[in-house]
Amino acid sequence: MKNKGFSLIELIVVLLIISLSISLVTPSLSRFSRTIELKAATKKVSGILRYYRSEAVNKRHVYQILFDSDLREVKVQSMESTEEKGEAGKKEEAGKKEEAGKKEGKSPQKIYFLPDGVHIKEIKVESPQYPSDIPTIEFYPNGGSNGGTILLDSEDRKGYRIRIHFLTGMVEIESV
């Protein structure tokens, strides 16, 4: 007569093989998810840069993108373009300077946060038209920029460098 079923030893061997394979695969899955997170954050930052370059051209304003590496955040603010103001704009600006509680020519900031595992490792930017305490990329109404590079990385992953061309304002991503 044939035995139908599995012995206890066969079941234990199969369970050991499954648990061993899971323990080997789990670390690579977590590294894979960190890689995906880093790539997504890089695409998000480059998307922010491209969007505000487009906004600078369309709305004829100067946009500043400020990179705070300590807080791992990207701030965006609009500056009024001095070259596009007419006489009415100059009079309005003079009225604004008299008001003590307002910032000159700045719009409220929009803040974008980076994920926990992603860090801004290095930022190289040229001097912006409007001074700032933290590294800043500016986009001008003609489509240009002050240019620079930003390196995003993770603890154990290779990073991505975002390049902003100073003349055209074009944004490119390259892996490091």
Q: Can you give the three-state secondary structure of 22-69, one letter per residue? A: HHHHHHHHHHHHHHHHHHHHHHHHHHHHHHHHHHHHHHCCEEEEEEEC
> Could you give the CA distance from residue 142 to residue 58 in angstroms, rounded to a whole number?
9
pTM exceeds 0.85 for this model:
no
Q: Which two tokens stand for residue 131?
A: 């001074």
> Could you give the CA distance from residue 106 to residue 43 in angstroms, rounded to a whole number?
27
Write down the residue that tokens 């998000």 correspond to.
44
Q: Which two tokens stand for residue 78?
A: 């609009």
Torsion sign over Cα 26, 27, 31, 37: positive
Q: Which two tokens stand for residue 122?
A: 């290095």
pLDDT by 10s per residue, the chain, length 176: 567 788 999 999 999 999 999 999 888 887 788 889 999 999 999 999 999 999 999 999 999 999 999 999 999 999 874 444 444 444 454 444 444 334 445 666 899 999 988 999 999 998 888 888 999 999 999 999 999 999 999 887 789 999 999 999 999 999 98
Closest CA to 166 of 122, 121, 109, 127: 127
| Structural domains present in the chain | 38-175 (3.55.40.10)
> Could you give the CA distance from residue 125 to residue 150 in angstroms, rounded to a whole number?
8
> Could you give the CA distance from residue 149 to residue 163 in angstroms, rounded to a whole number?
5
> Could you give the CA distance from residue 126 to residue 70 in angstroms, rounded to a whole number?
20
